[in-house]
Amino acid sequence: MDFSLSDNQLMYVDTVRKLVKNEITPHILEMEKSHKFPWSVIGKAWEMGIINLCIPESIKGFEVDVISSAMIIEEISYGDTGISTSAMCNDLANIVIAQHGTQEQKERFLRPFTERPILASFCLTEPAAGSDNSMMTSFIGKRDDGSYILNGSKCFITNASYASQYTVLCKVGKPTSNFMACVVIPVDKVTAAEIPDIGNDTRHIELPTGGKIIIGKPEDKLGQRLSNTASVTFEDVVIAPDQIIGDRRFGFKYIVDVLDYARPMVAAIGVGLAKRALAVTLDYTRERKQFGSRICDLPVARETITAMWKRVELAELALFKAACKIQEKAEDAGLYASLAKNTAAEAAIFCSTEGLHLHGGYGFTTEYEISKLARDAHIVDIYEGVREVQNMIIGREIV
Ligand SMILES: Cc1cc2nc3c(=O)[nH]c(=O)nc-3n(C[C@H](O)[C@H](O)[C@H](O)COP(=O)(O)OP(=O)(O)OC[C@H]3O[C@@H](n4cnc5c(N)ncnc54)[C@H](O)[C@@H]3O)c2cc1C
């Protein structure tokens, strides 16, 4: 096993660090308070080639390997996990097309992402189908002309207010069907020029092919306030057969593939956040003196800082083991993806909570980044499958 980075990986890390250092870190508290959608950072990330990582080279994408993708996401997350969630969501929505789409579908649905900085949404969760997505009721019904009609509502969908394309998981034939399909709905392309900031508005999309999509008001979230999250309702949306990815009955299998890829990326988000929490805590406790000594030199505080460092390092090891397993398509990749996700979520929550504590009263104010990191950390333990679901997967696999 080799822990050294390739020239390409070093180049990626260096590129993202420059973006974070110049465009995110100096302004992060101000950006977060203003709650404006970070199009400018997304645009720069697109120009630098550090988003849309899964798009195949055959259609002028970067087709970045899983390990390098995890490094890129971790580095963006060191800057802000709302921005990395938004960026990562493009791959969440597009990987199923890259893995299971035909060459025509890849050309039609993926090429636009190589041409301008646009966003995609992955629509799985529903109000009554969260951890248990088999309970979803959105469905496509077949019409006499061979096309389908999609109806249903999704919730907590990242990028929904700004998305130029929706990847949707839905039942086939009826809401209680055992089969699930994956359909792709491209809409008018949205960049910063079309919707600079949605504010508190809803978005209505009339589709030229028939039906409409209604995006609810953005959720007012505890953390990750620079990512956009909203509900998405599909009303009589006409779906042509060539908008269905792969076999229209294999959606459950495709979700597993998507989530096996996505969980290490969420782990990368957690590791990036935990590293940032450790860094700002080290900076603070090296400066602040109490009892005649720097806080970082007080033995009990030093012990906490050491515990934070250990969590970061162990989470990063779990992340790269999972990324390697997925890269080599190992049979037990899912097991390690779940381990990485849980370990990174624990590290993010532990480091931000303990880091806030080591800032004392100052950590409880919005003047210090640690308070934002503590708010942002909780979602890492929830999205892409809550902690208990990861433990269910781990338990099932090892028993
Ligand atoms: C900011 C944000 C962004 C998101 N982005 C997306 C997105 O882009 N696309 C998308 O489809 N979804 C997205 N989601 C949805 C997210 O994946 C779900 O919120 C998550 O899967 C949990 O579902 P739920 O909220 O319905 O919680 P529930 O499933 O209702 O779970 C609530 C709690 O019950 C417990 N629990 C649940 N199941 C079990 C179990 N089997 N055993 C023991 N305890 C259990 C856990 O403590 C869990 O936290 C996002 C959510 C948020 C908040």
Query: Is residue 2 included in any domain, yes or no?
Result: no
Is residue 128 located within the same domain as residue 222? yes
Query: Is residue 108 included in any domain, yes or no?
Result: yes
For ligand 1, whether the C-beta of 125 sits within 6 Å is yes
> Residue 129 carries which DSSP code?
B
How many domains does one find in the chain? 3
Q: How far apart are CA 51 and CA 49, in angstroms?
A: 6
Is residue 100 located within the same domain as residue 30? yes
For ligand 1, whether the C-beta of 379 sits within 6 Å is yes
> Residue 4 carries which DSSP code?
S
Query: Is residue 394 included in any domain, yes or no?
Result: yes
pTM (two decimals): 0.97
pLDDT at residue 2 in the model: 75
* β-sheet bridge partners, residue 158: 229
Residue 135 sits in a domain whose CATH number is 2.40.110.10
Is residue 224 located within the same domain as residue 155? yes
Mutate to test the pocket of ligand 1, among 162, 386, 394 (most ligand atoms within 8 A of CB): 386
DSSP string covering 242-275 = GGB-S-TTBHHHHHHHHHHHHHHHHHHHHHHHHH
Query: Which of the listed residues 115, 144, 177 is the one where a domain comes to its end?
Result: 115
Query: Is residue 99 included in any domain, yes or no?
Result: yes
Query: Is residue 235 included in any domain, yes or no?
Result: yes
Q: How far apart are CA 334 and CA 397, in angstroms?
A: 9
Query: Which of the listed residues 82, 115, 148 is the one where a domain comes to its end?
Result: 115
Is residue 219 located within the same domain as residue 166? yes
For ligand 1, whether the C-beta of 269 sits within 6 Å is no
DSSP string covering 88-101 = HHHHHHHHHHHHH-
> Residue 235 carries which DSSP code?
E
Is residue 128 located within the same domain as residue 108? no
For ligand 1, whether the C-beta of 156 sits within 6 Å is yes
Is residue 192 located within the same domain as residue 55? no
Is residue 190 located within the same domain as residue 277? no
Residue 385 sits in a domain whose CATH number is 1.20.140.10
Residues 6+ apart with CB under 8 A from 333: 260, 322, 325, 326
What residue numbers bound the domain in which 161 lies? Answer: 119-249
Ligand 1 atom nearest 125 alpha carbon: 11
pLDDT at residue 24 in the model: 98
Is residue 49 located within the same domain as residue 143? no
Residue 91 sits in a domain whose CATH number is 1.10.540.10
Query: Is residue 1 included in any domain, yes or no?
Result: no
Q: Is 360 helix (H, G, I), strand (E, B) or coil?
A: helix
Query: Is residue 224 included in any domain, yes or no?
Result: yes
Query: Which of the listed residues 203, 220, 249 is the one where a domain comes to its end?
Result: 249
pLDDT at residue 1 in the model: 66
Q: How far is the CA of 135 from the centre of ligand 1 (A)?
A: 13
**Exposed/middle/buried for 220, CB within 10 Å: 0-12, 13-18, 19+?**
exposed
pLDDT at residue 148 in the model: 98
Is residue 243 located within the same domain as residue 291? no
Residue-wise pLDDT for 86-130, tens only, equals 999 999 999 999 999 999 999 999 999 999 999 999 999 999 999
Comparing C-alpha atoms, which of 311, 318, 324 is closest to residue 266? Answer: 318
Is residue 133 located within the same domain as residue 241? yes
Is residue 21 located within the same domain as residue 101? yes
Q: What are the backbone dihedrals phi and psi of residue 287, each rounded to the nearest 5 degrees, phi first? A: -85, -45
> Residue 277 carries which DSSP code?
H
Supply the Cα-derived Rg of the chain in whole angstroms.
21
> Which regions of the chain are under pLDDT 70?
1
Q: How far is the CA of 77 from the centre of ligand 1 (A)?
A: 21
Residue-wise pLDDT for 23-75, tens only, equals 999 999 999 999 999 999 999 999 999 999 999 999 999 999 999 999 999 99
Is residue 203 located within the same domain as residue 241? yes
**Which residue's CA is the nearest one to ligand 1's atom 23?**
130
Contact 311, 351 (CB under 8 A): yes
Query: Is residue 209 included in any domain, yes or no?
Result: yes
Number of neighbours of residue 288 by Cβ within 10 angstroms: 14
- What separation, in Å, do the N-terminal and C-terminal C-alpha atoms of the chain show? 27
Q: What are the backbone dihedrals phi and psi of residue 367, each rounded to the nearest 5 degrees, phi first? A: -75, -20
Q: How far apart are CA 98 and CA 96, in angstroms?
A: 5
Q: How far apart are CA 328 and CA 261, in angstroms?
A: 12
Q: How far apart are CA 327 and CA 293, in angstroms?
A: 47
